[in-house]
Amino acid sequence: MNFSISEENYIKSIYHLQQQTDTVTTNSLANELQTRPASVTDMLKKLQVKNLLEYEKYKGFRLNATGNKVALNIVRRHRLWEYFLVTKLGFEWDKVHAIAEELEHISSKDLIQKLDNFLNYPQTDPHGDPIPDVHGKIPVIRQVSIAEVPVKKNVTVSSVGNQSPEMLELLDHYHIGIGTSLKVTMRFSFDGSVEIKVLKQAACIISEQVAKNIFVYHD
């Protein structure tokens, strides 16, 4: 089956929203796609007819097995292109999302296979998010947010939750990126803020909100 660019964007957004809440609402999807709830309802009907959704009027919706597979394929293309843009073309990690948003819709199987091979089968994209394989299998990455890391444990940054330009700007400012090694030196119970120490950098304090969005694994 082949899908339009619009259909693919809907499918992918539903997939992402499902990571947080099992069943997705019309409003949240409209908000995610910067469109109107009425437009979402229209598209839901089409996706249901194409047998990608479980959807009951007024009750919310979710991807079925088929829809999930389609979504994972789009996510795979998106993340492979992001990896390409950063590692081969030299883009900054906060500049690649919009471009990958277009590249992901080129659906030649052969293209993605050869791209994957050219990139040497990367496991994660530039934001630390796992890249599904051809069959839709996602490498599991054991990680916790800095908000949950015990003091004095050495950890390495594996991914970023909130990937807004504002967040990425902040991380760049602190010189924190995927693969950065650091240690939690102190945690303030007053507001949940955390003091961290990156090798060769002065210690700095990040808010609980930021801490919750930086994921790390124990060394």
Partner DNA sequence: TTTATTTTTTAGGTTTGTCTAAATTTTTAT
Partner DNA sequence: ATAAAAATTTAGACAAACCTAAAAAATAAA
- What are the angstrom distances between the C-alpha of 174 and each of 160, 198, 201? 14, 9, 9
Q: What is the distance between the alpha carbons of residues 141 and 77, in angstroms, rounded to a whole number?
A: 19
Min separation Cβ 188 and a second copy, Å: 41
Q: Is 203 in the site for a second copy (CB under 8 A)?
A: no
Q: Where are the beta strands (DSSP E) in the chain?
A: 53-55, 61-63, 144-145, 154-160, 181-187, 194-198, 204-206, 214-218
Q: Is 119 left (phi over 0), alpha (psi -120 to 50) or beta?
A: alpha
Contact 212, 147 (CB under 8 A): yes
Under the binding rule (CB under 7 A), the answer on residue 25 touching DNA is yes
Smallest gap from Cβ 51 to DNA, in A, equals: 15
Query: Interface residues for a second copy in 129-168 (CB under 8 A)?
Result: none
Residue with tokens 């051809």: 134
Query: According to the binding rule CB under 7 A, does residue 48 interact with DNA?
Result: no
Convert residues 100-139 into a mask of x (bound to Mn ion by CB under 5 A) and - (unbound). -x-----------------------x-x-x----------
| CA angle (203, 208, 214) in 5-degree steps | 75
Whether 176 and 157 have beta carbons less than 8 Å apart is answered as yes
Binding segment for a second copy among 91-99, 138-146, 173-181, 182-190 (CB under 8 A)? 91-99
Single residue of 65, 106, 203, 205 touching a second copy by CB under 8 A: 106
Tokens 């809907």, residue? 10
- Closest approach, Cβ 90 to a second copy, in A, equals 6
Among 16, 21, 36, 151, binds DNA (CB under 7 A): 36
Binding positions for a second copy, rule: CB under 8 A: 85, 88-91, 95, 98-99, 102-103, 106, 108, 110-111, 114-115, 117-118
Which residues contact DNA (rule: CB under 7 A)? 4-7, 9, 25-28, 35-46, 55, 57-60
